[in-house]
Structure 1
Amino acid sequence: MDDHLDQQIEKIKTEVNYLTQLTDPETSFLKLDEVNNLIMGFLNQIQLLPLEQLQQYNQKLLEITPQIESSIAEMTRQKNELSTEIYNLNQSIKATKAYEQQNA
């Protein structure tokens, strides 16, 4: 593999990690403007590569796709786990407040 290609792959990995940070914590939705800017920058870089390099790039992307999918699945699992914990904490707080009001 070409050093330039490896650098591009590392940059994609960094950008994927960055994408995971683009979620609005209050709504759990992606910050679409930032995601769009990231994707447009990525597409502009790809347009400058020769065909052979694009084919190598595509192959490398196919190789790292399972890792990306696995990361997304893990983040989803963690998000669901956190949502459950938050729900349970809220229920506990409500129960504690109700108990305090009854015994006040």
Structure 2
Amino acid sequence: MLRTTVAVLNDGCATYQDPAGSVPISGFEVLVDYNLQRAGPEGIFITDQVGITWRKAELPSAGRGGVFTHNGKRYLVEEVIADDGHMVTAACMVSA
């Protein structure tokens, strides 16, 4: 069911390069959320971060400094903000 949901809602395939420069992982589906909402001491606020979500079976995790490439744009991983064992979301910044 999860695979079907991601197949319907995805924003396309991406490539991930870890900060150590290992062989890139390519061709996994991602969901891209602009203006990511985060919880802070004063409640929910909108950030300039981009949330990238993927199936954990396709990429176990992403580390700070890793880079996602999607639709010709590069996204630098700042931190993993959600991991329920099936799906993982990383907060990223658009990189030049």
| TM class by smaller structure | under 0.3
| TM-score scaled by length of structure 1 | 0.21
Larger radius of gyration between Structure 1 and Structure 2: 1
Q: Structure 1 or 2: larger strand share?
A: 2
Q: Structure 1 or 2: larger helix share?
A: 1
